[in-house]
Amino acid sequence: MRQIALALNKLSNAMKLIGGIALVGMMLLTVVDVIGRFFKHPIFGSVEIVGFLATIIVAGVLPYTYKIGGHVGVEILMQTFSRKTQIWVRLITRTLTLFLFGLITWQMFLHAAELRQMGEVSMSLKFPTYYIAYILGFGLLLFSITILETICLDIVELRKGDSK
């Protein structure tokens, strides 16, 4: 389990780095495009590229953000529960979240395969969109595995509490 957690952390950190690079690229592209538009020389396809980069950012940072607890939660209500009840609530919500994102991940890979089969390309740049869909699918897969890891940690914590 420890080796899986280490590998998951390395993948999550690599995806976070890719997301960060995509964010910097999106900012630079936007700045250069705005300046270019001022001088009547915009960057062709910049809107598409920014959209692709935004998707890469989401795919890259989603697992890491979940891992550090960076998503919005209802802490005020949770603090009123006992420790064991908090773990059970987390376990139930994480299991439902895993189910939902497992379905979304599966559908994203099916959608990417469909885009590839149909030869779908972006409107201006004629870039194959299935690449972006596969990147998002991989990020969602990593996110789902991260959720599964936290479920396992909750179960371990629950069992420790029962053995006391």
Interval 122-147: pLDDT, tens? 999 999 999 999 999 999 999 999 99
Whether the model clears a pTM of 0.85, i.e. scores above it, the answer is yes
Q: What is the pLDDT of residue 79?
A: 84
Q: What is the pLDDT of residue 77?
A: 80
Q: What is the pLDDT of residue 51?
A: 96
| Residue 13 to residues 59, 65, 105, Cα–Cα distance (Å) | 12, 11, 20
Q: Where are the domains of the chain?
A: 2-163
Check whether 103 has a pLDDT greater than 60: yes
Which residues, at least 6 apart from 90, have a Cβ–Cβ distance to it below 8 Å?
150, 154
SS3 content of the chain, % helix, strand, coil (to 5): 80, 0, 20
**Confidence band, pLDDT 50/70/90 cuts, at residue 164:** low
**Confidence band, pLDDT 50/70/90 cuts, at residue 75:** confident
| Residue 102 to residues 85, 93, 105, 141, 142, Cα–Cα distance (Å) | 25, 14, 5, 7, 10
**Confidence band, pLDDT 50/70/90 cuts, at residue 23:** very high
C-alpha 113: how far from its chain's center? Answer: 19
Q: Structure tokens of 149?
A: 């890891």
Q: Chain-wide mean pLDDT for the chain?
A: 92
